[in-house]
Amino acid sequence: MNFLHTLSTVLFIVSFHPFTRAKPDTYIIHMDPSAMPKAFSSHHSWYFSMLSSISDTSEAASASSTVTSKHLYTYTHSINGFSATLTLSELESLKKSFGYLSFTRDRPLTVHTTHTSQFLGLNSVSGAWTAPNYGEDVIIGIVDSGIWPESESYSDEGMAQVPTRWKGKCESGTNFNSSFCNKKLIGARFYNKGLLSSHPKLTIPMNSPRDINGHGTHTSSIAAGNSAKGASYFGYASGTANGMAPRAHIAMYKVVWRYGTYTSDVLAAIDQAIQDGVDILSLSLGLSVDNNVLDDDPIAVATFAAMEKGIFIAASAGNDGPLYWSLVNGAPWMLTVAAGSIDREFDGILTLGNGVQITFESLYPGNFSRNQMPLIVMDECASLEELRQVRNNIIVCKDHLSISDQVENAESAMVSAAVFISNYSYLSELHTRSSFPAAFIGLDDGQTVIDYIKQNSDPRGRFQFRKTSIGTKPAPKADAYSSRGPFLSCPNVLKPDILAPGSLVLASWSPVSEVTKVGSHPLFSKFNLLSGTSMAAPHAAGVAALVKKAHPDWSPAAIRSAIMTTANPFDNNLSPIKDVSNFNQPASPLDIGAGHINPIKALDPGLVYDATPEDYMKLLCAMNYTSKKIRMFTKLSHDCMNRSLDLNYPTFIAFFNDDGLSTSADKFEQEFQRTVTNVGKEGMAYTAKVTGMDGIKVMVEPPKLVFKQKYEKQSYKLRLEGPKLLKKDVIFGALSWRDDAGKYMVTSPIMATTITSHTVTHS
């Protein structure tokens, strides 16, 4: 391959209609822009001419209308190109066109579905929310399911004027017009041409930026929602809901629809967001793990272009945990966000007739009589007929069947209330959000209930619900659903980057989208409690807005570094953060990245690890990307003369790969080089300290860094030495640079591992 090629890549998306398929397929076609004839004034006109020349339509009179109907989008900022609907023969003709490079299939994506601000230490007295840093003048672009503009979270009370640099707008559509925008919600657009291309007979009832799903309203209010008083989920989590950056501006790009989400639409949204002038992009969606390859992921390519223009990207890690290698959105120019719990629990109480109380997790929203009811043990609750005969009692089910089957049987029998005894250490939110009064308890509490029933001739109990506890410990924990690293397409960069609140987060919601049921009756609310890395990513995006406000000239890499190196690896018991899925053992960097996000410290990190687009190019070159693939990412020429897998990243990961022939005497060595920039005051000195790394020798040279000036750079090397045969699959620790005055501790996780892509579970 010729790595001296100096031209950038033009990309466009097409979907074709094979004669044997009813639905179109969508493809991303990469073209060499130098192939555009000089006769064309723009790529847009060239694309239209190309569509006309390869069209199957023989009637000249209809050629113009045919091209117009085929064309979907023209991309000019994220990826140069366009979208079009083509037959199979037209696609084959296109492949023969001068300048054609390659294609990939356009694929559907999935979404990774108030107290959190206080849990993160944000308040108006001390911390990041001290004037003038509420995220003023920062613009956060949200690519999601739209927005419910009437929500109190989008009030522009206290907001500054719309930045003069803003080029976006509010598009009109079904039940939505530009008057819904204000100084808080400054942009709202919608994209569904890719969706309609794949489903040509589809009718979209809410063809506008308005959110009837709820997901986009939820994520955007987490990132930058204004204060919303009286927020709660049917009495749970009552209080005032605030976004992470309550004075930042919001621009919504609706791409998530009830009928699907398509890459071509997401690309159009990112392309427009770059042109509009957003500062931060929050993405709570992604491809499946099987399809998440950097050069085959248009979102990774598009966000590279955003990064080149100084836009910070926060993206959800995915909800396919706790398996290793399940992480998505792991491009090294993104902040990849894992999800954890917060110090808040939602409970119900079962009070037995003898006064013993058993507390259990619950989100049951209905009213329930406090009068005592008979308790009846129904063993495995397998017979609907038997359950119907006792449905006016509190039935007790033992975990012999699937707990989901037992819940379904109880619902079908319309029982008044139930107790489910299970040995599951981690219950799904779907169970705690039951449609009827129910307690999900463990074996120990279950035995207490069983013993009470056996020892009494008339055993009774009563339920109470809507209990919210604040300050629970330990918190946070890495939740089981959060996808784990490494990132299969770029394992040399440790992912995820950070842990942020993602479990049962209260935020604004679309009031026309059902949140739960009581019996068969749907319930609606202006607020909802949701879990997922979808909720974690906008937390990080909002914190990035605070850092951006404090340091408007910082690069996306510097902002990411500030967030990562100031993260907290400890919970509120001052112990290492635990992993729910691994029997509450300490979480590794593959679970939580650098640790739990800390907005206050991120504003003043002391040192940062910066990186330029050129640094990412060196990484891609070292990953043996071809000239064609390199040109997919950047418009700049790159000859790949300099290659390095050692990106200037604030983490370290080494694969002690065993070849199967190693002995206990065989050694493994790896050296890393990093450069840090002093963003504190002049005259600072830092000393290195390494913790953890059991059985691995860690050397840092030099062990002390002295900075005479602000923005001065210093480099160091970190060397790992150890046996190829590690004691465990994953060994981790940290390198901390501490300044002599004790103000800063700049910390980076270190990890040595023997896991391969075939290793999926914790050992």
Name the residues annotated as catalytic. 144, 215, 534
User: Residue written as tokens 């640079």?
Assistant: 737
Beta strands in 224-363 (DSSP E): 228-233, 236-241, 249-254, 280-283, 285-286, 312-316, 335-340, 344-352, 357-361
* Integer Cα distance of 499 and 595 in angstroms: 6
User: Residue written as tokens 């914790």?
Assistant: 762
Question: Which residues are CB-neighbours of 426 under 8 A, at least 6 positions away?
Answer: 480, 580, 581
DSSP 225: P
Q: Coil, strand, or helix at residue 103? A: strand
Question: Which residues are CB-neighbours of 454 under 8 A, at least 6 positions away?
Answer: none
Question: What are the beta bridge partners of residue 687?
Answer: 704, 738
Using CB atoms within 10 Å of the CB of residue 375, give its burial: 0 to 12 exposed, 13 to 18 middle, 19+ buried: buried
Q: Nearest 5°: CA angle at 595, between 335 and 487?
A: 45
User: Residue written as tokens 């929203």?
Assistant: 365
Q: Coil, strand, or helix at residue 68? A: helix
Q: Are 754 and 732 in contact (CB under 8 A)?
A: no
Question: Which residues are CB-neighbours of 175 under 8 A, at least 6 positions away?
Answer: 206, 208, 210
Ramachandran quadrant class, 138 (left: phi over 0; alpha: psi -120 to 50; beta: rest) = beta
* Integer Cα distance of 202 and 195 in angstroms: 9
Return the biggest CA–CA distance within the chain.
94
Exposure string for 272-290, b = 16+ CB within 10 A, e = fewer: bbbebbbbbbbbbbbbebe
